[in-house]
């Protein structure tokens, strides 16, 4: 295995058109589950120029105004330009209401183990979970830095520290690794869209970004930019972002949602799916297991791979890998993970109470996940980020 390398991960702001679509999709999921936790909903979204396209297929008792959910997201993302804002944009919806009788109305909270065993997976899918000890959140450093910078880029616009910015932005962070440990920041590329092409000048923008975005993020970081770190701000010249300039679509940023390509991840969209979809919640369960393994000190890097098959409740295979960092043999890790983690669909729902999270979180749960990653979130109390199985694993 190559141990010395440079690795780049990317994150985007909430206002990036792709993320805008992810957020709208998840806001719709939230709305449905808020009103009816048993809702089945699949929402997909695309945005181009001033039109948002939403296709939603659902069976639910809930009555959801797809456009309102979308307009709220657009407003919250900070779009207030005359050519694209929550009231000027047009929304084309294709609501496809299916019979509410198709819902799965079991209450997982009161299901017995036998009953959980009877609820099989409905998709053929392999999902990945990962954790490593780069950061306190047990996430790969490049993606975490990218998220932090992207979030900060959004904040300075909202706080009007850099009022000339548009909500659309992208951050790429390249990190040098020695012995598979991050040692320095090689480069940072930030694309910050601005409202006016001529203002501010490239020099001022670069200076502002360095001062208001980069510097605060790296304040307390052990690995911070040094004098040789390259900083690119709008390398292609002034950038006018937003849906009027480039289009977006749900599920196109799955690397941003997961581990920044530092490890394997599913190519499918996480956003816009209700928790019955094993490709979404399976990824959460896999991360939960991997994170607990690392937190328990059994390895400093861990990947959990689950393969589900239609009609079978438990994953057909559970693979745990530690890439040579394991403190106990990988076979034992496998046994421990299998013993202590419930990877059955209803089991995951019960453990994380996923169908009721939107209600418990005032209608805003999945949509908050849509931007800045589904994993390693310190701003949310995510059930799959808990390290409550550490003691069991240490046994």
Partner 1 sequence: MVLEIHTSVKGRGRYKVEGLFGSEYLKSFLELRLPRHKGISQASASMTTGNVLVKFNSDNTHQSIQSLIQGVLKEAEENLPSAGEFPIESFGKEERGGAGIRRRIKDLLFPPEETPPPWHLMESEAVLGELSTDYYKGLNESQVAERLKQFGPNTLPEAPPRSGLQIFLGQLNSLPVYLLGAAAGVSILTGGFLDAAIIGGVVVANAIIGYFTESQAERTIHSLKTFVRPAAEVLRDGRYTLASAESIVKGDVVVLKPGVSVPADCRIVYADYLNIDESILTGESLPATKDCIPLTGENIAVADRRNMAFMGTLVTGGHGLAVVVATGQNTEIGQLQMLLGEITAPETPIERQLSKLGDQLVLMCGFVCGVVFIMGFIRGYGILQMLRTSISLAAAAVPEGLPAAATINFALGIKRMRGHGILIRQLQAVETLGAVQTVCMDKTGTITQNRMTVQRIYSGHLCVQVQNDGFKSGARNVKVAEFEEFRRLFDVCCLCSESSVEEGGGCDSVCGSPTENALIRMAMDAGIDAFRLREENERIKVHHRSESRLFMSTIHEKPDGGRILSVKGSPPEVLAMCRWQVIAGETVPLTEESLQEIETENEMMAGDALRVLGFAYKELGEDSDEEDLIDLSWVGIVGMSDPIREGVDELIRVFHRAGIDTVMITGDQHSTAQAVAEQLNIAREGALEILDSSELAAVDPALLKAIAKKVHVYSRVSPAHKLKIVQALQSAGKTVGMTGDGVNDGPALKAADIGIAMGKSGTDLAREVADVVLEQDDLEKLVLAVRDGRAIYGNVRKSVHFFLSTNLSEIMIMFSAMAMGIGFPLSVMQLLWINIISDIFPGLALSMEEAEDSVMDKPPRDPQAGLFSRDDFKRMSFESAVITAGALGAYGFGLARYGAGARAGGIAFQALTLGQLLHAFACRSDEKGLFGKNKLPPNRYLTLAMAVSLGLQALTMFFPPLRNFLGVSRLGVVDALVIGGASVLPLLINDFTKKKG
Q: Is 95 in the site for partner 1 (CB under 8 A)?
A: yes
Q: Is 110 in the site for partner 1 (CB under 8 A)?
A: no
Q: Is 83 in the site for partner 1 (CB under 8 A)?
A: yes
State how far the Cα of 150 lies from the Cα of 289, in Å rounded to an integer. Answer: 27
Nearer to partner 1, 51 or 224 (CB): 51
Nearer to partner 1, 74 or 286 (CB): 74
The only residue of 33, 91, 127, 150 in contact with partner 1, by rule CB under 8 A: 91
The only residue of 3, 136, 362, 395 in contact with partner 1, by rule CB under 8 A: 362
Nearer to partner 1, 88 or 392 (CB): 88
Minimum CB separation of residue 51 from partner 1 in Å reads 6
Nearer to partner 1, 63 or 339 (CB): 63
The only residue of 4, 5, 6, 88 in contact with partner 1, by rule CB under 8 A: 88
Burial class (CB in 10 A: 0-12, 13-18, 19+), 159: exposed
> What is the three-class DSSP state of 116?
helix
Stretch that binds partner 1, among 58-66, 188-196, 233-241, 314-322 (CB under 8 A): 58-66
Burial class (CB in 10 A: 0-12, 13-18, 19+), 147: buried
Decide: 164 and 204 in contact? Cβ < 8 Å: no
Burial class (CB in 10 A: 0-12, 13-18, 19+), 146: buried
Nearer to partner 1, 247 or 325 (CB): 247
The only residue of 3, 87, 228, 237 in contact with partner 1, by rule CB under 8 A: 87
Q: Is 90 in the site for partner 1 (CB under 8 A)?
A: yes
Stretch that binds partner 1, among 59-67, 275-283, 294-302, 308-316 (CB under 8 A): 59-67
Q: In Å, what is the CA distance from 129 to each residue of 74, 116, 298, 360?
A: 31, 22, 16, 25
Nearer to partner 1, 115 or 360 (CB): 360
Binding mask 33-52 for partner 1 (x = CB under 8 A): -xx-------------xxx-
State how far the Cα of 79 lies from the Cα of 328, in Å rounded to an integer. Answer: 51
Nearer to partner 1, 90 or 317 (CB): 90
Decide: 53 and 248 in contact? Cβ < 8 Å: no
Q: Report residue 71 as tokens.
A: 């307009």
The only residue of 5, 63, 196, 316 in contact with partner 1, by rule CB under 8 A: 63
The only residue of 4, 96, 105, 201 in contact with partner 1, by rule CB under 8 A: 96
Interface with partner 1 (CB under 8 A), residue total: 27
Closest CA to 64 of 89, 40, 87: 40
Minimum CB separation of residue 258 from partner 1 in Å reads 29
3-state helix, strand, coil in the chain (%, to 5): 35, 25, 40
Closest CA to 74 of 12, 22, 142, 148: 22
Minimum CB separation of residue 17 from partner 1 in Å reads 16
Q: Is 93 in the site for partner 1 (CB under 8 A)?
A: yes
Residue with tokens 């920041």: 185
Minimum CB separation of residue 43 from partner 1 in Å reads 14
Decide: 283 and 128 in contact? Cβ < 8 Å: yes
**Longest distance between any two alpha carbons in the chain, whole Å:** 66
Q: Count Cβ atoms below 10 Å from residue 3 Cβ, excluding itself.
A: 9
Minimum CB separation of residue 344 from partner 1 in Å reads 32
Q: Is 81 in the site for partner 1 (CB under 8 A)?
A: no
Q: Report residue 84 as tokens.
A: 């694209």
- List of residues contacting partner 1 (CB under 8 A): 31, 34-35, 49-51, 63-68, 71, 83, 87-97, 362-363
């Amino acid at each position: 295995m190559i141990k010395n390398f440079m690795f780049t991960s990317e994150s985007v702001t909430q206002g990036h058109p792709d993320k805008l679509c992810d957020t709208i999709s998840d806001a719709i999921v939230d709305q449905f589950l808020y009103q009816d936790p048993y809702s089945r909903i699949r929402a997909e979204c695309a945005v181009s120029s001033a039109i948002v396209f939403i296709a939603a297929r659902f069976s639910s008792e809930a009555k959801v105004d797809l456009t309102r959910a979308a307009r709220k997201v657009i407003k919250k993302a900070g779009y207030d330009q005359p050519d694209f804002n929550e009231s000027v944009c047009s929304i084309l919806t294709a609501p496809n209401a299916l019979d509410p009788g198709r819902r799965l109305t079991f209450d997982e909270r009161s299901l017995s183990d036998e009953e959980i065993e009877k609820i099989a997976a409905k998709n053929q899918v392999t999902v990945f979970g990962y954790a490593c000890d780069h950061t306190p959140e047990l996430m790969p450093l490049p993606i975490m830095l990218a998220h932090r910078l992207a979030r900060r880029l959004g904040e300075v616009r909202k706080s009007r520290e850099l009022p000339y910015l548009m909500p659309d932005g992208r951050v790429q962070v390249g990190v040098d690794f020695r012995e598979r440990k991050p040692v320095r920041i090689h480069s940072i590329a930030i694309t910050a869209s601005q409202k006016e092409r001529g203002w501010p000048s490239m020099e001022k923008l670069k200076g502002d970004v360095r001062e208001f975005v980069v510097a605060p993020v790296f304040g307390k970081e052990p690995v911070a930019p040094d004098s040789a770190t390259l900083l690119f701000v709008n390398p292609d010249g002034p950038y006018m972002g937003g849906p009027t300039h480039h289009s977006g679509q749900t599920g196109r940023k799955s690397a941003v949602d997961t581990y920044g390509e530092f490890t394997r991840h599913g190519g499918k969209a996480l956003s816009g799916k209700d928790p019955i979809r094993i490709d979404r919640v399976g990824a959460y369960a896999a991360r939960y297991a991997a994170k607990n393994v690392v937190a328990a000190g059994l390895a400093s890097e861990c990947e959990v791979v689950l393969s589900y098959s239609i009609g079978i409740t438990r994953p057909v295979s559970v693979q745990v890998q530690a890439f040579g960092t394991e403190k106990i043999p990988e076979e034992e890790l496998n046994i421990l993970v299998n013993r202590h983690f419930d990877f059955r669909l209803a089991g995951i729902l019960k453990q994380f109470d996923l169908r009721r999270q939107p209600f418990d979180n005032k209608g805003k749960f999945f949509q908050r996940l849509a931007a800045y990653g589904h994993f390693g979130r310190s701003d949310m109390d995510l059930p799959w980020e808990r390290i409550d199985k550490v003691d069991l694993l240490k046994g």
